[in-house]
């Protein structure tokens, strides 16, 4: 029987040397009990067949039943899953890190894979330091209640695992919710820490993203006008975002934009520009850009959004009789140019609000 090394750590300020030790053991094929925010788990290196087989054996779980992966960065989901739907990305954006496991189509085309990003400092650090693919089922004999404190976690596994971290009781004290996205529509397989109603609400909420260059003029106008239109219609289940393709953020809306929008009851005085990210693109149902070169930049960033990417002016009523589908940047132009730009954006927003 093994001599299990047990270390007690402060969950908010864990000693780094012991996290490195746990990661080393995982990398070498050992088993490590770690806390998460939900329940304690037994972590193993998925790339080590002997480690995974031993994990199944000590949990008394059928070897053919695949363990879910735990990851330390959101973007790593794309290393293991393919064909990830927009609704799944919405849940990732809202609930990760957190008590949510997603079942997705495996990237190798062979069935499905369960993936979670825990909201626990120790778990995330150990996973990250290990540099391997980590599976981490609950630290209990299969069929028994999952452990919410270290005493319950170590009870059946002392001498069977190599290393165990005692961080007291878990915060959430209930298992993660599990959502299956290998079917359409998705299915909530287990209602755990996150309520079914919250999952369904987040997954079904529409997201519209407006993009220009600096996120200080055109996309700001579009976001403000669209938000007002939705409010006037009493529509609450649509999220509206704006961003820029520029290399920096942190600017406010231009003075001209602030004044024009204020004249129509819209206040963008607190707007801070931001650069578009893949996370924004992934969760957006429709992405609307101002110029062709914005399309090119977005497709360079994420080619998979092609079917959700449009020029905003395509929706303007005047668009059918206008060969120029770009909405030019009004920066540095007279106020009259800003007024014409806003009129074009308004026409497009009117059309979009009818179909959203």
- pLDDT tens for each residue of 232-247: 999 999 999 999 999 7
Domain range spanning residue 57? 5-202
The pLDDT assigned to 1 comes to 63
Q: Predicted confidence band at 316 (pLDDT cuts at 50, 70, 90)?
A: confident
What pLDDT is recorded for position 331? 94
Instruction: Check whether residue 197 and residue 211 sit in a common domain.
Output: no
Q: How many domains does the chain have?
A: 2
Q: What is the average per-residue pLDDT within 56-67?
A: 93
Place of tokens 């630290």: 139
CA–CA distance, 329 with 340 (Å, rounded to integer): 11
Q: What is the CATH number of the domain that holds 142?
A: 3.90.870.10
**Section 62-89 average pLDDT:** 96
**Arithmetic mean of pLDDT, 285-306:** 97
pLDDT band at 322 (very low <50, low <70, confident <90, very high): low
Q: Are residues 166 and 276 in the same domain?
A: no
The token pair that represents 117 in the structure block: 């990003």
Q: Are residues 243 and 213 in the same domain?
A: yes
**What global pTM score does this model have?**
0.93
| Mean pLDDT over each residue of the chain, to the nearest integer | 95
Percent of the chain surpassing pLDDT 70: 98
- CA 290/CA 320 separation, integer angstroms: 16
- 280 with 291, same domain? yes
The per-residue pLDDT for 303 is 96
Q: Are residues 111 and 259 in the same domain?
A: no
Report residue 345's pLDDT band, with 50, 70 and 90 as the boundaries: very high
Instruction: Tell whether the model's pLDDT for residue 87 goes beyond 80.
Output: yes
Tens-digit pLDDT profile for residues 207-260: 999 999 999 999 999 999 999 999 999 999 999 999 999 977 788 999 999 999
Residues 6+ apart with CB under 8 A from 334: none
pLDDT at 319 over 60: no
Residue 157's SS3 state is coil
Q: Are strands 32-34 and 177-180 parallel, antiparallel or unpaired?
A: unpaired
Which of 168, 202, 236 is the C-terminal boundary of a domain?
A: 202
Element (H, E) at 100: strand 100-105
23-54 tens-digit pLDDT: 999 999 999 999 999 999 999 999 999 999 99
Q: Are 332 and 217 a contacting pair, CB within 8 Å?
A: no
Least confident interval from 56-65, 268-277, 309-318:
309-318
pLDDT at 354: 84
pLDDT at 64: 83
- CB atoms under 10 Å from CB of 229, counted, come to 19
| Residue 145 sits in the same domain as residue 273 | no
Please give the DSSP secondary-structure letter assigned to residue 146.
Answer: P
Residues 129 and 90 in one domain: yes
Report the distance separating Cα 320 and Cα 229, nearest Å: 23
Contact in structure between 97 and 117 (CB atoms under 8 Å): yes
Tokens describing residue 219: 């996309």
Residue 3: how many CB atoms within 10 A of its CB? 8
Question: CB within 8 A of 160, min separation 6: which ones?
Answer: 1, 2, 4, 31, 58
Q: CB neighbours of 30 closer than 8 A, spacing ≥ 6?
A: 51, 161, 162, 163
329: CATH: 3.40.50.2300
Domain shared by 309 and 281, yes or no: yes
Which residue among 202, 223, 241 closes a domain? 202
Residues 146 and 171 reside in one and the same domain: yes
Domain closes at, from 202, 232, 248 = 202
Residues 128 and 184 in one domain: yes
Q: Are the C-beta atoms of 253 and 268 separated by less than 8 Å? A: yes
Nearest C-alpha neighbor of 341 from the set 239, 269, 256, 240: 256
- Encode pLDDT of 146-189 as tens digits: 999 999 999 999 999 999 999 999 999 999 999 999 999 999 99
Tell me, yes or no, whether 193 and 214 share the same domain: no
The pLDDT score that the predictor gives to residue 105 is: 98
**Residue of 163, 194, 199, 189 lying closest to 35 (CA atoms):** 163
Separation between Cα atoms, residue 308 and residue 281, nearest integer Å = 9
Q: Is residue 28 located within the same domain as residue 166? A: yes
In this prediction, residue 356 carries a pLDDT of 75
């Amino acid at each position: 029987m093994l001599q299990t090394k047990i270390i007690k750590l402060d969950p908010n300020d864990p000693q780094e040397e012991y996290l490195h030790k746990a990661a080393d053991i995982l990398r070498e094929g050992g088993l490590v009990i770690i806390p998460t925010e939900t329940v304690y788990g037994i972590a193993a290196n998925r790339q080590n067949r002997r480690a995974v087989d031993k994990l199944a054996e000590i949990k008394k779980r059928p070897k053919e039943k695949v363990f879910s992966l735990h990851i330390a960065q959101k973007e790593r989901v794309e290393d293991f899953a393919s064909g990830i739907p927009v609704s799944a990305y919405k849940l990732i954006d809202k609930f990760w890190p957190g008590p949510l496991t997603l079942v997705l189509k495996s990237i190798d085309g062979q069935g499905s894979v369960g993936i979670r990003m825990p909201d626990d400092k120790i778990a995330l650090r150990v996973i990250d330091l290990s540099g391997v693919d980590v599976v981490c089922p609950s630290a209990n004999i299969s069929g028994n209640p999952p452990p919410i404190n270290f005493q319950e976690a170590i009870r059946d596994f002392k001498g069977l695992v190599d290393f165990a971290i005692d961080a007291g009781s878990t915060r959430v004290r209930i298992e993660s919710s599990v959502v299956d996205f290998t079917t359409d529509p998705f299915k909530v397989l287990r209602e755990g820490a996150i309520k079914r109603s919250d999952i369904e609400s987040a997954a079904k909420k529409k997201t519209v993203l407006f993009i220009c260059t600096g996120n200080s003029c055109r996309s700001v106008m579009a976001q403000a006008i669209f938000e007002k239109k939705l409010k006037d219609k009493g529509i609450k289940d649509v999220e509206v975002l704006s961003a820029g393709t520029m290399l920096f953020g942190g600017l406010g809306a231009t003075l001209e934009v602030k004044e024009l929008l204020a004249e129509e009851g819209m206040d963008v005085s607190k707007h801070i520009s931001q650069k578009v990210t893949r996370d924004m693109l992934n969760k957006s149902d429709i992405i609307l850009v101002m110029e062709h070169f914005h399309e090119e930049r977005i497709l360079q960033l994420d080619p998979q959004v092609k079917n959700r990417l449009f020029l905003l002016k395509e929706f303007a009523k005047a668009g059918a009789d206008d060969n120029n589908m770009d909405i030019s940047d009004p920066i540095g132009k007279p106020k009259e140019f800003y007024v014409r730009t806003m009129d074009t954006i308004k026409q497009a927003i009117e059309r979009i609000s009818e179909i959203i």
